[in-house]
């Protein structure tokens, strides 16, 4: 694609989901530095997400994490979101923070603990029914720290049973997204460590089970765009948890450590014509030091910039170069697109959409942060476990 009009149309139609937990306090195991103006409850987190959408125009949904975002009335929360111009998105299950889960959740040797974990996954589907969410995202911290600690294949069987029971509870329009992560918190063996394991479980479950790629969950040097291509080919790429990593699961702003990698990922998506076919583009980030709402706006813009560059790749010239074995020309086609400054194009797009061309400047000028800073005094600020 090289004509500006279809590129702008594709970018205008892009949807990026932000995460409720990105608006709360976060940190490391050493220290959480609290920030001013941080939401005290899911209603305030949604107000922040709506603010991101107001200035970017492409972030109309917000993912929830249960129980962090537990409320009495999810239909009321959905109405609150709608009134603010956004909707509730993916429901993230949390089976990693109870004492019971020390030896695992759905893979725990104790059947009682497994039952409790499955009950939580099913509760998440109940919540999806109330919120109108399409996707259930499952990440398991399950694993072992020492060789011999538990039996690998037995644990896989327990995992398969739990997934099957949860999958059977999904409605026709609902999907299960299975996430993988190489290591941490388990240090010897993780029960869903890689895309192959997630893929095998999804294949056994059925069409509505798909793999989600968290960009921070790989070994250094992993070719993530190859995984994207493989899952696209198999029809099993459900979505992304976008973030950036230098060392491990750093949860930094997407595109910050390696914007070229993000471009290469988006290039595979555009090449397969899958930008608007149901892949969930989600942010899974934590903003420990930087102002949170502004960081989420920046992240949305980073995804847009990588996507714009991917849309600029001249597919015809690329295919010709590839067919004729012109290695350098093929590579140059990609690099030309990557090296294009797409910021003017995105400014034009925002003007077309009736937005300020400079989302961060507009957000700063809006006075939103000063307002919530003054209002959100007292109570308990949201954070992991809140």
Place of tokens 């249960």: 66
| Interface with Mn ion: number of residues (CB under 5 A) | 3
| Contact of residue 191 among ligand RM4, Mn ion, none (CB under 5-8 Å per partner type) | none
For Mn ion, the closer of residues 48 and 241 by Cβ is 241
Q: Does 48 bind Mn ion (CB under 5 A)?
A: no
For Mn ion, the closer of residues 93 and 333 by Cβ is 93
We find the least distance from the C-beta atom of residue 24 to ligand RM4, in angstroms, to be: 11
We find the least distance from the C-beta atom of residue 384 to ligand RM4, in angstroms, to be: 7
Contact 292, 373 (CB under 8 A): no
For ligand RM4, the nearest residue by Cβ is 139
For Mn ion, the closer of residues 218 and 264 by Cβ is 218
Exposure string for 205-234, b = 16+ CB within 10 A, e = fewer = beebbbbbbbbbbbeeeeebbebbbbbbee
Give 275-334 as a DSSP string: TTSS-EEEE----SSS-HHHHHHHHHHHHHHHHHHHHHS-HHHHHHHHHTT-HHHHHHHH
We find the least distance from the C-beta atom of residue 40 to ligand RM4, in angstroms, to be: 19
Contact 241, 265 (CB under 8 A): no
We find the least distance from the C-beta atom of residue 137 to ligand RM4, in angstroms, to be: 6
| Contact of residue 249 among Mn ion, ligand RM4, none (CB under 5-8 Å per partner type) | ligand RM4
3-state secondary structure 199-253: HHHHHHHCCCEEEEEECCCCCCCCCHHHHHHHHHHCCCEEEEEECECCCCCCCEC
**Distance separating alpha carbons of residues 236 and 177, to the nearest angstrom:** 10
For ligand RM4, the closer of residues 191 and 284 by Cβ is 284
For Mn ion, the closer of residues 138 and 313 by Cβ is 138
We find the least distance from the C-beta atom of residue 345 to ligand RM4, in angstroms, to be: 31
What are the structure tokens assigned to 175, written together? 């999907």
**Distance separating alpha carbons of residues 161 and 155, to the nearest angstrom:** 10
The residues, ordered by sequence, that sit 6+ positions from 222 with a Cβ below 8 Å of its Cβ are: none
Place of tokens 């990440």: 139
| Contact of residue 92 among Mn ion, ligand RM4, none (CB under 5-8 Å per partner type) | ligand RM4
Q: Does 284 bind Mn ion (CB under 5 A)?
A: yes
We find the least distance from the C-beta atom of residue 255 to Mn ion, in angstroms, to be: 16
For Mn ion, the closer of residues 55 and 90 by Cβ is 90
For Mn ion, the closer of residues 41 and 284 by Cβ is 284
**Distance separating alpha carbons of residues 219 and 318, to the nearest angstrom:** 30
For Mn ion, the closer of residues 44 and 214 by Cβ is 214
Phi, psi of 18 (to 5 degrees): -95, 165
Which positions touch ligand RM4 (CB under 6 A)?
Answer: 21, 65, 92, 139, 179, 181, 214, 241, 249, 284
Binding string, residues 209-248; x marks residues near Mn ion by CB under 5 A: -----x--------------------------x-------
Q: How many CB atoms lie within 10 A of CB 346?
A: 19
Q: Does 249 bind Mn ion (CB under 5 A)?
A: no
What are the structure tokens assigned to 160, written together? 């398969």
Q: Does 268 bind Mn ion (CB under 5 A)?
A: no
We find the least distance from the C-beta atom of residue 241 to Mn ion, in angstroms, to be: 3
For Mn ion, the closer of residues 48 and 284 by Cβ is 284
We find the least distance from the C-beta atom of residue 100 to ligand RM4, in angstroms, to be: 18
We find the least distance from the C-beta atom of residue 27 to ligand RM4, in angstroms, to be: 13
For the chain, where are the alpha helices, taking DSSP H only?
A: 4-12, 42-56, 74-83, 111-131, 152-169, 195-205, 224-233, 259-271, 292-312, 315-323, 327-338, 343-352, 359-366, 368-375
Q: Which stretches of the chain bind Mn ion, using CB under 5 A?
A: 214, 241, 284
């Amino acid at each position: 694609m090289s004509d500006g009009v279809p590129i702008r149309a594709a970018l205008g139609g892009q949807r990026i989901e932000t995460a409720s937990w990105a608006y709360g306090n976060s940190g490391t195991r050493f220290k959480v530095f609290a920030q001013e103006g941080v939401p005290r409850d899911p209603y305030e987190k949604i107000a922040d997400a709506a603010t991101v959408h107001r200035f970017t125009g492409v972030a109309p949904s917000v993912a929830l994490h249960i129980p962090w975002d537990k409320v009495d009335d999810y239909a009321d929360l959905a109405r609150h979101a709608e009134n603010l111009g956004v909707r509730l998105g993916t429901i993230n299950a949390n089976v990693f923070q109870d004492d019971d889960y020390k030896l695992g959740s759905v893979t725990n040797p104790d059947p009682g603990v497994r039952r409790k974990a499955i009950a939580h996954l099913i509760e998440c589907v109940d919540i999806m029914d109330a919120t109108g969410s399409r996707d259930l995202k499952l990440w398991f911290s399950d694993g072992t720290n020492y060789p011999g600690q538990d039996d690998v294949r037995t644990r896989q069987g327990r995992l398969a049973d739990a997934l099957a029971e949860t999958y059977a509870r999904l409605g026709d329009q609902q999907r299960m997204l299975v996430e993988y992560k190489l290591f941490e918190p388990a240090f010897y063996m993780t029960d869903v460590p890689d895309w192959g394991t997630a893929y095998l479980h999804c294949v056994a479950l059925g069409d509505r089970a798909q793999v989600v790629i968290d960009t921070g969950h790989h070994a250094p040097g992993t070719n993530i765009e190859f995984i994207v291509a493989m899952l696209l080919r198999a029809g099993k790429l459900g979505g992304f948890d976008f973030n950036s990593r230098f060392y491990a699961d750093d949860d930094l702003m997407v595109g910050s450590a390696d914007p070229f990698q993000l471009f290469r990922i988006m290039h595979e998506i555009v090449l397969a014509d899958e930008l608007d076919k149901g892949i969930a583009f989600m942010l899974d980030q934590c903003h420990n030091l930087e102002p949170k709402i502004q960081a989420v706006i920046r992240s949305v813009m980073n995804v847009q910039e990588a996507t714009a560059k991917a849309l600029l790749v001249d597919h015809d010239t690329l295919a010709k170069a590839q067919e004729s074995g012109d290695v350098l020309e093929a590579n140059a086609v990609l690099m030309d697109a990557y090296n294009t400054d797409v910021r003017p194009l995105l400014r034009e797009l925002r003007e077309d959409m009736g937005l300020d061309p400079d989302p961060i400047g507009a957000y700063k000028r809006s006075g939103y942060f000063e307002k919530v800073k003054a209002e959100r005094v007292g109570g308990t600020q949201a954070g992991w476990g809140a």
